[in-house]
Chain A
Amino acid sequence: MKQIYIFSCILSLFFLPKLSYAQGFQVNFQGQKQQGMGCAGTALFQDGASIFYNPGSVAFSNENSINIASTPIFSNVLYVDSATQQAYRTKNPVGTPFSAYGIFQAHKHDKLKFGIAAYTPFGSTVQWEENWIGRFALTRLELKAIYIQPTLSYRIADVIGIGAGFIISTGNVNLQKDVPVQDSLGNYGHAELAGKALGFGFNAGIHYDLNKKLSVGITYRSQINMKVKNGVATFTVPPSLNTNFPDGAFTGALPLPNVTTLGWAYKATKKWHFVLDINYVGWKAYDTLAFDYEKNTTSLLDTKSARNYKSIFAFRGGAMFKANGKLDLRLGSGFGFSPVPDASVTPETPDANRFYFTGGLSYRFTEKFSIDASIYYTQLKRTAQNAETNLYGTYRTKAVAPGFSLIYKW
């Protein structure tokens, strides 16, 4: 591990300013080849994952292809409370973001390509250990969103491709926390807010080959407001307080931010390719997390929690070495600023500025069939006091995400 760390540090110095990707509750695993190179690849067409990374690049595809991938995330958070010095851990289940891409053309060398994609750009499950000190802020959060993106890409000139896709986003949210009322045995109450969310948006991009070696790409993925319309709030409280905490419907909304990316690809030699992406993520949209309960009581009021996220830049990049006709090796790294101000750091997203390091490879068994693998590693540390709950302590996060994909072309 240490060796990888040191090696990547050297690499990241080489790539100043560094590379990376966005933060918050975003999951940035949409393509194994891009993941291998620091999650960058806006200006380099490699496979179907470009439907996500740059719909404009898709026009540079020359065959039909199908690509399915999954990246299990092993993520653990340790929280050490400042006042008590007691430590608590998450027991997160393994996250399973997946992606599936298909690129199709009516005839060989058609300028128009069709793409279809399904991927999970946001989502995580955070599960804290029993009776942890922050249980009145959060005990469990499950957040899942699946984007379905039909896409058209057109090669308007030999060196320019443009593309755009419409995004339908469906998701689930399940938020749980303890309620500070105790029954006759001393057990605390519990609240569970569950709902389905729906949102719409788009993803558009341009790919431009400046010359044989240098390409540039620009993409914009729009903000998507995930609205929970008929959520169900369920409260487990002592019987004498049932009327204070009536089960019922709630509404809420979560903005998934827009992302603007400027990326470069440089094919230095036949064997060495380099990529660099700069993202600007519109987290400013996430200023409040509000829950509106259908039935209010003096104990159950609508809540508005300040989030006040800031829009941030992230830098990511990497290199690919084409070892031979069958094997490609990749390495990358990134840096992202945290969109979360100190006062808004919560147990659901104990976010921090982050460096991460990635590696990957591809192996082509035949002309038609190949596999990719990638690995992602990051660790974060954040000490903060939340303004709403006054929870004050240090979060340390480690995440490892090994990914794998199968690609078939014809």
Chain B
Amino acid sequence: MNRIITSISIAAFTALAVFSCKPKYEEPTFSKGEIDPSRFVMIGGGHVAGYMNDGLYFEGQENSLANIIARQLAKVGGGNFNQPLVDQSSIGISSNLLSPMKLGYKTDCKGVSSLSPIRIAAQGDLGIFNQNIYSTNALFGNYGIPGLKLADVFSSNSNPFFTRMASSISASIMDDAFASQPTFFSLFLGLEEVLSYAKSGGTTEYIQPNILFEYFYDQVLLTATANGAKGVLATIPDVSEMPYFTTIPWNGLTLDAASNTTLNSIYNPLGYYFTVGSNPFMIVDSTANAFAVRQILPTELLTLSLPLDSVKCNQMGVLFPIRDEFVLDAGELQYLRGVIAEYNQVIRDLAAKYNLAVVDVYDFSKNLKSGFVYNGVTMSSKFVSGGAYSLDGIHFNAKGNALLANEFIKAINLNYKSRIPQVDANAFNSTLFP
């Protein structure tokens, strides 16, 4: 009898061990809340398109901001989301017809080889712009058009990123984007306006006044909400915090004793002084003095387009001051940030007027600037090492898009009482190292 009890007990212990030690997973319940996600359209610039590493290419598009959001909407009833995909075998193309960039080794004028963004080919795949891929059977949902400014959405448009996907030569982006009668939309507009100004070092025309911006934005919303569709509007990030403007240090001019003596003898009469070690670069400023040259201020920014070989080997920023197109000076920055603040006020006001959700991309850019830890990974707006920006220093990489997509999802959930899951941003690629 006792032997039987013993063996039964031992058998029972073993059975318990084998069958009952896995915690049960309860399937989460997601819900669309007050939105109808069945047909989703997103309009914006390169940041929406999946443009990254200074190029539009298949993998970038697959990981576009719009596509990541659409994939999550699909979990609460979202339909097919069609993108104007570049062929998977294509190398892609940039706004200036170059190929996208990757991280590789580059040898500078001094013969020093180091990790640096390099183009993957001599030029981009021009075939992308020669073929129209519009189809009435699969209307596009992603109207992220690199370089798209708000004023350009109402008329026919010669932007090659649009013409390749346009329904006809005379179609406007508004015509095409709303042809599918979207039930849910997102707008990320105004960013290309401020970027175009900032990238030019403040040398281009002035940014469209906010009164016009408001008028055009209102027109878009009238159409977008005409059938009762809900939407989420994105504010504009502080573009001056993108790595394109923050990577090259203002005081990157390093002097040895000999150069220091030479420079002081040249510039002291103008009131500029140098020391051995780090010094501010010299920049062009027509208002500074008769020679139109001064030292850059700590708060002023240099663009990533600055030809570094000229700086290292040909006295650029020293005897030859850095030209205005590579500098955002104090006045330009003040103007730029003022416009961003005004545009964002317009966006928030219109969101309130139309009762739409707002995703604060401006706050997101500030958080990224200070840096945060996401599931064990430190993210920041630092070039390459920050993990979120692609090699062009302006557009996010796939991981950055995923992080930003999560902000959109949070804003939608908050405003429309939906329960849409976020994505694991670490499952998306950041910069790839050789």
Contact B373 A389 (CB under 8 A): yes
Contact A398 B20 (CB under 8 A): yes
Contact B432 A186 (CB under 8 A): yes
Contact A76 B21 (CB under 8 A): yes
Complex-state Cα separation, A391 to B424, whole angstroms? 11
Does B28 sit at the interface, judged by CB under 8 A?
Answer: yes
Known contacts A81-B424, A83-B421: does B432 contact A1 (CB below 8 Å)?
no
Chain B residues near A402: list those with CB within 8 A. 13-14, 16-17
Contact A84 B423 (CB under 8 A): yes
Interface of B is mostly: mixed
Chain B residues near A399: list those with CB within 8 A. 21
Does B271 sit at the interface, judged by CB under 8 A?
Answer: no
Complex-state Cα separation, A99 to B10, whole angstroms? 20
Known contacts A74-B17, A326-B2, A390-B374: does B23 contact A180 (CB below 8 Å)?
no
Complex-state Cα separation, A396 to B432, whole angstroms? 35
Taking a contact as CB atoms closer than 8 A, the residue among B13, B387, B406, B427 that contacts A375 in the complex is B13
Does A222 sit at the interface, judged by CB under 8 A?
Answer: no
Known contacts A76-B23, A400-B20, A402-B14: does B434 contact A327 (CB below 8 Å)?
no
Chain B residues near A375: list those with CB within 8 A. 13, 16
Given contacts A74-B21, A373-B13, A389-B376, 16 further A-B pairs with CB under 8 A are A78-B22, A84-B423, A182-B431, A182-B432, A185-B432, A186-B429, A186-B432, A238-B433, A239-B434, A240-B103, A327-B6, A373-B9, A377-B16, A391-B376, A399-B21, A402-B16
Q: Which residues of A contact B (CB under 8 A)?
A: 1, 72, 74-78, 80-81, 83-87, 89, 131, 133-137, 177, 180-186, 237-241, 324, 326-327, 361, 363, 371, 373, 375, 377, 379, 388-391, 396-402, 404
Nearest Cβ in chain A — how far from B243, in angstroms? 17
- B12-65 at interface with A (beta carbon < 8 Å): 13-14, 16-18, 20-25, 28, 30
- Please give me the residue from chain B that is nearest to A363 by CB atom: B6
Contact B426 A180 (CB under 8 A): yes
Contact A137 B376 (CB under 8 A): yes
Known contacts A390-B374, A391-B375: does B5 contact A240 (CB below 8 Å)?
no
Does B372 sit at the interface, judged by CB under 8 A?
Answer: yes
Which 6 interchain pairs have the tightest Cβ spacing?
A136-B376, A238-B433, A396-B23, A402-B13, A389-B376, A85-B28
- Please give me the residue from chain B that is nearest to A4 by CB atom: B16
Contact B115 A240 (CB under 8 A): yes
Nearest Cβ in chain A — how far from B222, in angstroms? 35
Taking a contact as CB atoms closer than 8 A, the residue among A136, A398, A400 that contacts B426 in the complex is A136
The number of residue pairs between A and B whose CB atoms lie closer than 8 Å in the complex comes to 128
Contact A84 B422 (CB under 8 A): yes
Chain B residues near A239: list those with CB within 8 A. 434
Nearest Cβ in chain B — how far from A29, in angstroms? 13
- Please give me the residue from chain A that is nearest to B3 by CB atom: A363
Known contacts A81-B424, A184-B433, A186-B429: does B376 contact A134 (CB below 8 Å)?
yes
Does B377 sit at the interface, judged by CB under 8 A?
Answer: yes
B 354-372 binary contact with A (CB < 8 Å = 1; else 0): 0000000000000000001
- B66-125 at interface with A (beta carbon < 8 Å): 103, 105, 115
Does B430 sit at the interface, judged by CB under 8 A?
Answer: yes
Contact B21 A400 (CB under 8 A): yes
Nearest Cβ in chain B — how far from A56, in angstroms? 31
Nearest Cβ in chain A — how far from B153, in angstroms? 33
Chain B residues near A184: list those with CB within 8 A. 432-434
Chain B residues near A133: list those with CB within 8 A. 375, 424, 426
Complex-state Cα separation, A280 to B372, whole angstroms? 38
Nearest Cβ in chain A — how far from B200, in angstroms? 33
Contact A363 B2 (CB under 8 A): yes
Contact A180 B430 (CB under 8 A): yes
Taking a contact as CB atoms closer than 8 A, the residue among B22, B376, B377, B430 that contacts A76 in the complex is B22
Nearest Cβ in chain A — how far from B63, in angstroms? 11
Complex-state Cα separation, A388 to B378, whole angstroms? 10
Chain A residues near B10: list those with CB within 8 A. 373, 404
Most central of B376, B377, B431 by chain A CB within 10 Å: B376
Contact A77 B21 (CB under 8 A): no
Complex-state Cα separation, A87 to B27, whole angstroms? 9
- Please give me the residue from chain B that is nearest to A386 by CB atom: B376
Nearest Cβ in chain A — how far from B18, in angstroms? 8
Listed A/B pairs (27) with beta-carbon separation below 8 Å? A76-B23, A83-B406, A83-B422, A84-B421, A84-B424, A85-B30, A134-B375, A137-B375, A137-B376, A180-B376, A180-B387, A182-B429, A182-B431, A184-B432, A184-B433, A186-B432, A327-B2, A327-B6, A361-B5, A389-B373, A390-B372, A391-B375, A391-B376, A398-B21, A399-B21, A402-B13, A402-B17
Contact B22 A85 (CB under 8 A): no
Chain B residues near A377: list those with CB within 8 A. 16, 20
Nearest Cβ in chain B — how far from A241, in angstroms? 6
- B375-434 at interface with A (beta carbon < 8 Å): 375-378, 387, 406, 421-424, 426-427, 429-434
Contact B23 A78 (CB under 8 A): yes
Nearest Cβ in chain B — how far from A213, in angstroms? 27
Complex-state Cα separation, A326 to B378, whole angstroms? 62
Complex-state Cα separation, A182 to B426, whole angstroms? 11
Taking a contact as CB atoms closer than 8 A, the residue among B5, B30, B103, B424 that contacts A327 in the complex is B5
Contact B427 A1 (CB under 8 A): no
- Please give me the residue from chain B that is nearest to A364 by CB atom: B2
Chain B residues near A89: list those with CB within 8 A. 22
Chain A residues near B378: list those with CB within 8 A. 180
Nearest Cβ in chain B — how far from A33, in angstroms? 15
Nearest Cβ in chain B — how far from A134, in angstroms? 6
Known contacts A74-B17, A391-B375: does B430 contact A182 (CB below 8 Å)?
yes
Contact B423 A1 (CB under 8 A): no
Contact B421 A85 (CB under 8 A): yes
Chain B residues near A327: list those with CB within 8 A. 2, 5-6
Nearest Cβ in chain A — how far from B386, in angstroms? 11
Chain B residues near A398: list those with CB within 8 A. 20-23
Taking a contact as CB atoms closer than 8 A, the residue among A86, A137, A326, A397 that contacts B23 in the complex is A397
Chain A residues near B427: list those with CB within 8 A. 131
- B181-207 at interface with A (beta carbon < 8 Å): none
Complex-state Cα separation, A279 to B372, whole angstroms? 40
Nearest Cβ in chain A — how far from B353, in angstroms? 31
Chain B residues near A240: list those with CB within 8 A. 103, 105, 115, 433-434
Chain A residues near B23: list those with CB within 8 A. 76-78, 379, 396-398
- Please give me the residue from chain A that is nearest to B434 by CB atom: A240
Complex-state Cα separation, A84 to B10, whole angstroms? 41
Complex-state Cα separation, A112 to B375, whole angstroms? 57
Chain A residues near B21: list those with CB within 8 A. 74-76, 398-400
Most central of B374, B421, B433 by chain A CB within 10 Å: B433
Taking a contact as CB atoms closer than 8 A, the residue among B9, B105, B375, B433 that contacts A181 in the complex is B433
Complex-state Cα separation, A85 to B421, whole angstroms? 6
Contact A72 B17 (CB under 8 A): yes
Chain A residues near B28: list those with CB within 8 A. 80, 85
Complex-state Cα separation, A185 to B102, whole angstroms? 12
B 164-178 binary contact with A (CB < 8 Å = 1; else 0): 000000000000000
- Please give me the residue from chain A that is nearest to B427 by CB atom: A131
Nearest Cβ in chain A — how far from B262, in angstroms? 33
- Please give me the residue from chain B that is nearest to A81 by CB atom: B424
Nearest Cβ in chain B — how far from A133, in angstroms? 5
Complex-state Cα separation, A177 to B375, whole angstroms? 12
Nearest Cβ in chain B — how far from A371, in angstroms? 8
